[in-house]
A and B are shown apart, each in its own frame.
Chain A
Amino acid sequence: MMFVTVTACLVILIGLYGIVTSRQVVKTILCMNLVQTAVILLLLSLASRTGSAIPIIGMGTGGMVDPLPQAMMITAIVIGASVTALGLFMSGKLFHYYGSLDWRVIFHKDTFERTD
């Protein structure tokens, strides 16, 4: 289990490195998704207990696995999917407006004046 925990931590660091160094919007979003997945893996690895019963009353004897991390991670997966979907939608729009997905191009193009 230690191996999974260390792997999750490594993937989090790789994802963070990717977020910092990516010049493409889509790559940044995918790296964000990578960190999200690794965080989920991290919690599941910490919560799993080899030999314990599934957390349903009447199913098995002895100690049960803590059900809370799994419930939390199901929700975190939904949140992660929503953020990724919204981010990718915005990326599509940005490409339509700026003709590029490079952060430098997007942020250094002149902005028109808004009146609201």
Chain B
Amino acid sequence: MEALMLTLIFLPFLWGLLIFLVDRVGFTRTVFVEQVLLSGLVFWLLRQGEVSLVLGGWPEGIGIELASGGFGRLFLIMTAVAFMYVYSYLWHQHQGDHKLFLFLGMLQGALYALYLTRDLFTMYLMIEVITILASILILYERDAVSVRAGLYYLIFNSVGMLIFLIGVIALYTEVGTLNLTRIHAWFGAEAAAGVALSVRARFALACFMTTFAVKTASFPVGGWLPVAHGYAPTFISALLSGLVVKSGLFLYVNVIAPFGSSMGFGITLVLGLCAALYGVGRAIFQTDIKRMLAFHTVSQVGLMVIGLSMYLADGGLGGMVHAFNHFMFKSLLFLAAGALARMYGTRNLTRIHGVMRSNPFLGVAVLVGVLAISGAPWMIGSVGKTLIKYSVADGLLTPAVVRWVTYALALINLGTAMSFSKWIAMLFGPREKSMKLFGGKAFAIGMMTVLVVVLYPLEVVVLGLDPLYKLSSEVLTYLGYVGAALGVYWFVLRDKPPWAVQLGRFVPDVEMAFFGMLVLIGGLHWLLVLG
């Protein structure tokens, strides 16, 4: 068991290194064999149920513990799927670029290690390694915009992780262990004894919350995400937006939620709402196809954060299910956006027309992605959104708060539909030219399209949902959002009013972004430690 778990972590790295050293395209093809092997290992691990072991045969609490269980299993599946589509998508253009395979292999190994470890410091280490590798991959094209995006990503995320390290120190001095199982048990025992969190524990919580806000690109520290995800190579954008950004959510479930602080959950709810509204508000006015998707990531992650803040009501189920589904459809949308940009020679949404006629395969993929992200009934996007909506209603909030959160959720859905009405407009129109997708890209996009479609019935069965529950009202609500969104697009945004163009181009000052971080650090510590 130990050897197989370690294989999952080290095989991608060693295989990447081997590809780099051999430096032959023929050998590079074996990366697909490696991915099948890794997927098999993940499948085998999932079949074992809850697994936990301490490396090197050390007693628990001394050695590093690896475990597969809970929501971590969703992340293992996501990682396996993500690298399958990444290698397929990049194959045609980058098959001779062996350095890229080395970095991607290291990233995959670090992601598996992060999702398997039960050790707080190893978690910090893996997130830092992922940050460094993600920065290298963002700047991979080595042009001015990529380097700028990579540096912005590196600095913001590294500062966030430094705050996390301070939190680790504070928690270690309080609890005396870095083992998450023991830390959870310690918090459980304290809560059962009715002991309130000590100042040191609250200080650690404030540090972890700061890192969580930075990693999930919450308002006001989310400025790095549209810059980084918008200008990275397409397959990296898909990987970052689909998978890597969710490491913050993984931190939340494993590190923040066990504190059981009601103030912490309240702050998370506010952070999530701000991020969701800010992201969707900015996305509406974007014309750059990838930047728009990046702003939608901010918004959708905000939605997941709202779901996770209802942890006491549903154990974070809504947020995590939406994270899993978002990975699927956002990856699909990013891959499709990259293919469209390359085909049409532009990333400007308003210059792309007639996709359905030019390439029906891509048109269907885009349509499936748009329906999923806008929460259409019987698509995976609706599952997480519905779970979050009901967890808010059934949660421990006052009726007034529930009402306001419900209004905000409706506004977010309306904004998402409004923003993606531009994508619908892109599908129709005269055929511009005949365009073909190359094998690997077509496979990656096709695979994600099929997954987005077939996952809905699977989730219905696994989660025990009733697909007909309130269906007529859900359909009517969805059609209402789409109608309102199309109306606003047609009458207000179609002619590109100057104010909308200005709003789309607005770039917050870097000093403002850093200042936002300081306000967040100060605010969280004030509320959680002194409040």
Contact = CB atoms under 8 A, between A and B. Distances in A.
A83 to B, nearest CB: 5
A86 B135 contact: yes
Interface stretch (B151-159, B247-255, B353-361, B385-393): B151-159
Contacts of B509: 104, 107
Contacts of A107: 148, 507, 509-510
Interface string A6-36: 0000001000110111010100110010011
Interface size class of B (residues with CB under 8 A): 35 or more
Contacts of A94: 144, 147-148, 151
A97 B509 CA distance: 20
B165 A39 contact: yes
A97 B154 contact: no
Interface string B206-247: 000000000000000000000000010110000000000000
Contacts of A108: 507
Given A87-B155, A90-B139, A114-B341, A104 B144 contact: no
A112 interface: yes
B495 interface: no
Interface stretch (B78-86, B413-421, B514-522): B514-522
Interface string B130-161: 01100110010111110110110011001100
Nearest to B516: A20
Main secondary structure of the interface of B (DSSP, over half): helix
Given A93-B142, A103-B510, A104-B510, A29 B169 contact: no
Given A23-B511, A32-B162, A91-B151, A115 B144 contact: no
Given A79-B125, A116-B234, A97 B147 contact: yes
Taking each of B128, B139, B173, which has the highest tally of chain A beta carbons within 10 Å of its own beta carbon? B128
A83 B515 CA distance: 21
A4 interface: no
B151 A20 contact: no
Contact of A35 (B132, B162, B233, B518): B162
Contacts of B132: 79, 82-83, 86
Interface size class of A (residues with CB under 8 A): 35 or more
A106 B346 contact: no
A25 B511 CA distance: 11
Contacts of A21: 511, 514
A116 B93 CA distance: 11
B151 A87 contact: yes
Contact of A83 (B128, B147, B521): B128
Interface in B40-57: none
Contact of B178 (A32, A68, A87, A109): A68
Interface string B394-433: 0000000000000000000000000000000000000000
A64 interface: no
A75 interface: yes
A102 to B, nearest CB: 10
Contact of A106 (B131, B135, B148, B150): B148
Given A28-B155, A86-B154, A103 B347 contact: no
Interface of B: 121, 125, 128-129, 131-132, 135-136, 139, 141-145, 147-148, 150-151, 154-155, 158-159, 162, 165-166, 168-169, 172-173, 178, 231, 233-234, 338, 341-342, 345-348, 507, 509-511, 514-515, 517-518, 521
26 contacts: A17-B518, A19-B517, A20-B514, A25-B151, A28-B155, A28-B514, A39-B166, A39-B169, A42-B169, A72-B121, A72-B168, A75-B121, A76-B165, A79-B125, A79-B129, A82-B132, A83-B132, A86-B154, A90-B151, A94-B144, A97-B147, A98-B144, A104-B510, A106-B148, A113-B346, A114-B145
The 9 A-B pairs at the shortest CB distance, nearest first, are namely A97-B144, A103-B510, A90-B151, A20-B514, A93-B147, A79-B128, A43-B169, A20-B518, A83-B158
